Each structure stands twice: as C-alpha cells, then as structure tokens.
Homo-oligomer: A and B are copies of this chain.
C-alpha cells in the first residue's frame, strides 16, 4: 500500500484521539491551537526513542514502541505533578517499513492516549535511511507549583510508587531464555513494554506539598543522585525497604544476579521517587493508598551529599549514578 505523506498522516491520525477538552484546533493545519486555562501553567517535555539503543524488534512490538514512547513523556509531566493533555508525534521511518507497521505504532499511541485522556494534536512522518525513531512531545498543565528535583530537605522522607526494577527484569526475560513462571514473565514483560506513568500519584505529591520528585526513567540510583545534587542533600536509602516485586526476586534467583541491581540501575520503570516531610508523607500515603496507588518509604534525606545505601547487616555503601546512560563509554 503506497500512500503519499498527507494520505499517510490522515490514515495514522484516524487511529488516535484528536479531539477533547482544551483542543481548539487539532492536527491538520500548520500548528495545533490549545486552550490554556487561567491560573494554569503549561508543562512541556520531549523524548526520543531510537531502534537499537532504546529498543529492539525482538523485545518491543510496534504497538509497544508507540505506547512506551508516549508513556516516557507522560511520565515527565507526572513527575512535575501535572496533568498530561496533548501529544505531538514524529516518526522516522526506514523505507523497509510498511504502513501496517506504522499503524500499529499509532495504535499503541492511541491506546495510551485514551488511558490518560490525552489527544494527539500534531504529527510528522519522515523517511530515514537509518533505524526507526520516534519523538514524542507531551504538553500538560498544572495550577499548582510544579514539583522539582531541587526541594528535598534534611528530615524529609524518601519514597517511591509501585515497584522498581521490574522493567529491567522484563527486558532480561525478553532477551534471554531464563526459566520464568508464566505469570512472572507476563508481569515483567508488561512492565517493560507498557509502563504506566504515575500521573495520579504526581498530582497527589504536588497537592500535598512533596518537596521534590523525579520519575524513574534512568534507574533509581540515577534519579536519587539527581535529587541529591539538585537539592544539596544526602539521600540515605534502606535497601530492604525498596519495593521489589516477587517476580524480580524469582528471576534474580534463577539468574544468580543481585535483585538490587535491577532496582538501582534498571531504569524505565516510570515510577515516581519523591521527598516530603513525615507529616506530608503521611497525607500522601493515605491519599495514594485510598485510590490504590502503592507508595513506600525507602529512606531519609540528610545533610550531606550523594546517595548512601544502608544494608540490612548495617553495611553502608555509596550508590553512584550509573544508571543507563546513552553516552557513557
């Protein structure tokens, strides 16, 4: 099936939600026109995934590529405590790729947009002689002061949503032939392929005065170090408190690896890590748990710098930011 550029964009756009609140003019003209409400501020973030460094056909179906690319950007909006609203997609397409492959990517985009009440307001599809790439820009809004990395204070508690390390373990399952129970494999691969950004949690953090927040895209170690650096504090993490799913523990046992490696250095969980005073944390915990979002305290903020892990046997260790880094060599 051959399509010209405009026909192709029409075909793809038909698969995603394009109308909704705050959209004055959707895709199809030179630029989208979006409503900004009084008292709100606009949040903007952009992410790019390239086949090769970021995903492989063996581990990510085209649907997953579309889903996860948008998830990564929605997660950035979540980490600011905002509401994601609008998505712009740019696809770089090798000539070997057929229209149905692009449609599947857009089906994934459409699925996550519907789950998070977002609309696709712009898109661009270009040819490339290189590997597939997808760039997502997500615009959001918040009427509250946005959560930053720089507000953590000594005496605050450190906490995370959900489980960490699951996405990295999922990638290991997809890449290897480790013996994994069926339900473990399903949980882990879903964590890798269809991560769920923690938008509701971010809004609760912001509403209840969390002092800092970051999403766990590059691994817990990396994000904790970012908050520590931006806030000029030390994060002291009690390793036995880190929420690691049984499926990850089972996989680590089978593979003879360290569960904490998944948790600290895995990345792509798109959970949130934040800090708040104990009083604020109690309110965050209550609100989150009341709507089914799990939040776990994993440590404390202290005067100092860096990230220190406290092991069950009392041993301490500095945790450096060696999460996934595209340019480390």
Contact = CB atoms under 8 A, between A and B. Distances in A.
Contacts of A8: 327
Interface in A8-64: 8, 24-25, 29-38, 40-50, 52-54
Contact of A44 (B3, B31, B48, B327): B31
Contacts of A139: 42, 44, 139
A187 to B, nearest CB: 26
A55 B325 CA distance: 29
B128 A4 contact: no
Contact of A130 (B24, B77, B122, B130): B130
Contact of A326 (B54, B127, B129, B141): B127
Contact-size category for A? 35 or more
Interface stretch (A85-93, A178-186, A243-251, A256-264): A85-93
B79 A31 contact: yes
Choose among A48, A214, A215 the residue with the greatest number of B CB atoms under 10 Å from its CB. Answer: A48
A140 interface: yes
A46 B326 contact: no
A142 B140 CA distance: 18
A98 interface: no
A30 B126 CA distance: 27
Contacts of A125: 326-327
Interface string A117-141: 0000111111111110101011111
A242 interface: no
Given A29-B150, A30-B45, A31-B77, 12 more contacts: A4-B325, A30-B213, A31-B146, A33-B146, A34-B42, A44-B121, A46-B89, A53-B126, A126-B133, A127-B326, A129-B130, A137-B137
- Top 9 closest pairs, chain A to chain B, by CB: A130-B130, A36-B36, A31-B45, A30-B79, A30-B76, A46-B88, A135-B135, A34-B42, A48-B90
